[in-house]
Amino acid sequence: MWKRALAVALLLAASVVRPAQATPPLPDPLATPTTPPPSYPGPGRVTGDVGVHDPSVVKRPDGTYLLVHTGNNIAIKTSADRTAWRNAGVAFPNGAPWTTSYTGGSANLWAPDISYRNGRYYLYYSASTFGSRNSAIFLATSPTGASGTWTNQGLIISTTSSSTYNAIDPNLVVDAQGRWWLTFGSFWTGIKLIQLDPATGKRLGTSITGLAQRTGGTTAVEAPFIFRHGSYYYLWVSFDACCQGASSTYRIMVGRSAGITGPYVDRNGVAMTSGGGTQVLAGHGSVHGPGHQAMIPDIDAEVLFYHYYADNGASLLGINLLGYDSAGWPFVY
């Protein structure tokens, strides 16, 4: 909820889908460390156009990388090596008029989630305004992921001011049985999960499952991302305040479950629906408010992408690798 209006200022400076297939187990990368470092490492080296907010990344079949992030009409960046990044336009160069009833007429679209499935790219993204639950998640697809090739596939889910949750921050996850799910949510009653039809990428049925919720003095949980490692599904979320430049207190938390629908618990066994979460990365040194995380498996390791704020308040791309300790809990290195 807090990520949007300030994010803009900081950054400005229908074809048939093939049926889903069961997803095979992901191999663990070789030589992944099992002992966490004594303190949080700095972000890995990145160069070029690295001003991002709410990044999501997919590795293309040719081995290059495609990144999308919050911005007018969804900003796109590419990289050949995961280090040097360049701007590659926007998803909707002619605008996205189907979203403006949720954005108050703004072109700013939030928190895109990109993946490559069944030979095409899927882009789920949010349309809303700061602090509002008049929100919606939409889907677009593309054969290449390039600017101007995205086709609007329509609305997935929406909320209103009377809803108890907020339809922003989507993330598509395909479980071990090949079933499609969308997790999303921000503040209020927290993180939700709905099932999708893999033939269309749209909602399947009407059920909705709560996965995580903050209790007590704050409801600040958002930016869910579910990533499967070994026999567990890991639910990654961001706690606390985004979009306050170097004063941001965003931090990356995780819980895990043997089943996609939960229950997700943290290292101490506390349910994420009761405010649980194990911290994986928080502000340190000149890295302020790291959050809105996404992961991909790569040839060298599982890779964590996120944004953070520099001392001058700029929102930048952070990349670290993921290891797992002897109990199976992730850490950054």
Taking only the tens place, the pLDDT of each residue in 287-324 is: 999 999 999 999 999 999 999 999 999 999 999 999 99
Residue in 28, 84, 46 with CA at minimum distance from that of residue 301: 28
Six token digits for residue 118: 């069944």
**Contact status, residue 232 vs residue 328, Cβ threshold 8 Å:** yes
Residues annotated catalytic, as ranges: 54, 222
Residue 2 has pLDDT above 90, yes or no: no
Total structural domains in the chain? 1
- Provide mean pLDDT across the span 191-196: 99
pLDDT-derived band at 215 (thresholds 50, 70, 90) equals confident
Percent of the residues in the chain that have a pLDDT greater than 90, as a whole number: 90
Cα–Cα distance between 224 and 43 in angstroms, integer? 21
User: Could you tell me which residues are beta bridge partners of residue 53?
Assistant: none
Please report, as a single letter, which amino acid is at residue 317: L
What is the per-residue pLDDT for 216?
Answer: 86
What is the per-residue pLDDT for 31?
Answer: 57
Residue 28 has pLDDT above 70, yes or no: no
What is the per-residue pLDDT for 90?
Answer: 98
Cα–Cα distance between 240 and 246 in angstroms, integer? 14
**Contact status, residue 83 vs residue 67, Cβ threshold 8 Å:** no
Residue in 152, 153, 154, 156 with CA at minimum distance from that of residue 167: 156
Residue 15 has pLDDT above 80, yes or no: no
Q: Is the dihedral of CA 47, 51, 56, 61 positive or negative?
A: negative
The residue segments making up the domain with residue 102 are 5-332
Cα–Cα distance between 34 and 23 in angstroms, integer? 26
Residue in 17, 10, 294 with CA at minimum distance from that of residue 169: 294
Residue 208 has pLDDT above 80, yes or no: yes
**Contact status, residue 48 vs residue 85, Cβ threshold 8 Å:** yes
Residues 6+ apart with CB under 8 A from 84: 46, 47, 48
Residue 23 has pLDDT above 90, yes or no: no
Give the global pTM: 0.91
| Collapsed DSSP state (helix, strand, coil) of residue 330 | strand
Residue 146: give its domain's CATH number: 2.115.10.20
